[in-house]
Structure 1
Amino acid sequence: MQNSSEKKLHTVRPNIPVGGHPIEQGDYLIDTIAINEIADSILKWISFRNPGAIIYGAPRLGKSYAIKYLKRVFDIKYENQWITFVVRTRKMKTPNESRFFEFLLKDVGHELFDKGKADAKRERLVNFFLEKGDGSVRNQVVLFVDDAQRLSSIEFEWLMDIFNELDSYGITLTTILVGQKELSHKRNIYLTTDKQIVGRFMIQENKFYGLREKEELAYLLASYDQISEYPVNSGWSYTRYFFPIGYEQGYRLENETDEIWQSFQMVRSEAGIKRSAEIPMHYMIAIINYVLKKYGANEENVEWPTTSMWREAMIESGYVNAEVIQSSSE
């Protein structure tokens, strides 16, 4: 294949400092079919003012990625209809009320997150949510809690107190718990031991999936070809920027779906992985980034990536090793 340096582009490639593109910085969010399906459910929960629900799935499938993406979408598309926050749990040997509220305050962006004792921090969080909720059209706060399988019963009770106090002032707190399969297992246990927790935070549940079908991969790749763009309003999608000659000649990542999917099947077969394919978003993004960065115009500058390059990326990203480890543990 002819090197792109031997040809000239009809249009000038944007002058972005090496390392400054979102692909190189790892700071970008791309839409997926799985995210859209989850978004539909979450929007219903918000619309019905459900107090809480859970989203669960295996590690590395892209749950954290999804809620970051959805927060950004909600902030733009539903600006001020409700206020959205994303917080993450910390693993603690023993639940500590002061640290619990301190972490929540820190994650929602409160400046005084570490001041005072537990009661003061709790009151500060309530007042913060009251202010934000009261300033929204729907008087509603949506709280995504990442790695929620770590929450203990007492921590759920602390969250319940927050919900009840906000509710007394006419502010709805909708809590979306996001975590691993253990989160669904906890729900089943609480159905017999503590239905109040289920009633507040686990009324609905939805399973999150990785890439399971070629059509899902095609949808993702098309976003790199068309929807992604940097600089803003430049007309240069991520695919076009890293493979400008191939793009100009009509090549698109979406059209490589069959070849890439077949490569996944082959590397899995060679590694002895027999379980059904469900490609975690963490690794899929890493694979695409690897190919764009290493073989794109900023480094090796090939005209268009080959099958061997995709196979190399699947191995170098750690995807194959992760699948082997996961298969051996089942």
Structure 2
Amino acid sequence: MVTRDYSLFTIAINDMVERIAGWLDDQVDGATIFGPSRFGKSSAVDHWLQRLLSERHGGYVPLVIWSHTDSGSSQAVGRFYAHLLEASGHRLASARRNPLERQIMLVERWIELAAQGRGRFLVLVIDEAQGMSQREWLWLVELHSLLEKQRVRLCVFSIASLQFFDEPLGMALAGGAHVAARFMLASESFHGVRSTDELAYVMRGYDDGSEWPAGSGRSFTAGLAPRPWAGGFRMEHQADRLMQAMNETLPSHYAGPMDFPMKTVAQACRHVLLHVASGGDVEVGPLQKRGDWLLRTAGTAH
């Protein structure tokens, strides 16, 4: 809790998994999940996507997650393959090889991973995909084609910031229409916390969907604040007041949607729980002060 090494399940994560699962069922080769920074997209990919997709699919889903790293110059195709080899868990990812050898290694590794699932397909998730260059997308098209020849379907899902939204049109206008046609046919937005009910759902995770210390069988709330817990305190019950506090700290003329970043929500919840654990009371006044600081440091509603 103090180190923030945890991830809470949210409605947005559920919606993202359901959308990606639907794309897999429909055999979509590529699509994009986009949203503002700090909304929890990377956390969803890193902590939840593999397990939840496998549960929904009814078996193991072969999945490679790559947080995009720039490959450098236009001649750096070998470095591009090396990044993907590392993300794919290849034991020789760092070995000195020429680009063609790395490409062969990567295709073989992906065929191996695909064979571990019940179907002949592999899911590649590219986090921070807004940094992908056109040349990298073209190299990915080549890999897609090579796998097709081996009767393996590569499904590419991009996780990107809002600036990616016009990328398919820009790619097509720049001569990469076949890239857009393969990997950017569909898109879905990733939302934050939009209502008190959604906030209560997130905060319930501190009460029921977490454990601290590890192996104790106690939730974050019970483990960090045992006396308030014994007295009936639950984080979920603070959702109304915390949402009120966050709303009241928005600019007076704010007219945008109520869509709070998970970073803001997680920091607010953390302050509430640690405050109660140290013997403090939860009141709207203190929450407003914390909310004001959090919204200035972590960003306001989108």
Match of 1:245 among 220, 227, 241: 227
Question: 2:291 is matched with which residue?
Answer: 314
Q: Quick check: 1:135 aligned with 2:116?
A: yes
Q: Is the 8 A contact 2:10 2:201 kept in 1?
A: yes
Question: How far did residue 109 of structure 1 move?
Answer: 2.2
CA contact (8 A) 1:61 1:280 kept: yes
Q: What is aligned with 2:63? A: 84
Contact 2:246 2:292 in 1 (8 A): no
Alignment equivalent of 1:48, drawn from 12, 17, 26: 26
Structure 2 match to 1:97: 77
Q: Deviations over 1:201-230 (max 9, x none)?
A: 112110111112222111101111112223
In structure 2, the CA distance between the partners of 1:42 and 1:76, relative to structure 1 (3 Å rule), is closer
Task: Please name the residue that 1:213 is paired with.
Answer: 195
> Larger RCO: Structure 1 or Structure 2 (Cα < 8 Å, ≥ 6 residues apart)?
1
Aligned to 1:179: 160
Q: What does residue range 19-30 of structure 1 map to in structure 2 within 5 Å?
A: 23-30=1-8
More deviation, 83-92/171-180: 83-92
SS of residue paired to 1:255: helix
Structure 2 vs 1, CA of residues 125 and 253 (structure 1 numbering), >3 Å: closer, same or farther?
Answer: same
Give secondary structure in 2 for the equivalent of 1:240: helix
Post-superposition offset of 1:249: 1.6
Of the candidates 190, 203, 206, which is equivalent to residue 185 of structure 2?
203
Runs of 4+ with deviation above 4 angstroms: none
Distance in 2 between residues matched to 1:211 and 1:112, nearest whole Å:
42
Query: Which residue identity does 1:97 align to in structure 2?
Result: V
Structure 1 SS opposite 2:112: helix
The residue aligned with 1:8 is none
The 1-side partners of 2:153 and 2:78 are apart by 24
Distance 1:266 1:26 in 2: 26
Counterpart secondary structure, 1:114: coil
Cα distance between partner residues in 1 of 2:106 and 2:291 = 44
Distance 1:304 1:247 in 2: 13
Q: Please say which of residues 39-48 and 72-81 is displaced more in the overlay.
A: 72-81
Contact 1:273–1:323 at 8 Å: present in 2 too?
no
Structure 1 residue matching 2:145: 3-state secondary structure: helix
Match of 1:108 among 81, 85, 88: 88
What residue number does 1:9 align with?
none
Question: Residues 244-277 of structure 1: CA distance to partner in whole angstroms, max 9, x if unpaired?
Answer: 222222221111111101111222247x755433
Which letter maps to 2:299? E
The one-letter amino acid paired with 1:84 is L
The number of aligned residues is 298
- The alpha-carbon distance between structure 1 residues 316 and 121, as it changes in their structure 2 partners (threshold 3 A), is farther
Measured in 1, the distance between the counterparts of 2:285 and 2:90 equals 49
Other structure's SS at 1:176 match:
strand
Determine the C-alpha separation between the residues in 2 that align with 1:200 and 1:70.
Answer: 26
1:284/1:123 Cα in 2 relative to 1: closer, same or farther (>3 Å)? Answer: same
Q: Distance in 2 between matches of 1:164 and 1:280?
A: 38
Q: Report the identity percentage.
A: 23
Deviation at 1:60, TM superposition (A): 1.3
1:33-54 deviation digits (Å, cap 9, x = unpaired): 1111111111111122221110
What TM-score does the superposition give when structure 1 sets the normalisation length?
0.81
Q: Which runs of 5+ in 1 are unaligned?
A: 1-22
Q: Which amino acid aligns with 1:259?
A: R
**Residues 52, 201 of structure 1: 8 Å contact kept:** yes
Shift of 1:235: 3.5
Structure-2 separation of matches of 1:24 and 1:250: 23
CA distance in 2, matches of 1:124, 1:149: 26
The reply on whether 1:289 has 2:270 as its aligned counterpart is yes
Q: State the match for 1:38 in structure 2.
A: 16
Q: TM-score, normalised by structure 2?
A: 0.88
Please state how far the C-alpha of 1:231 moved relative to its aligned partner. Answer: 4.5
Specify the alignment match of 1:323 in structure 2: 299
CA offsets, 1:47-96, max 9 Å, x none?
A: 22221110111111111111123334247625753211210112455342
- Give me the whole-angstrom Cα distance separating, in 2, the residues matched to 1:130 and 1:211: 39
SS in 1 for 2:126: strand
CA distance in 2, matches of 1:212, 1:311: 18
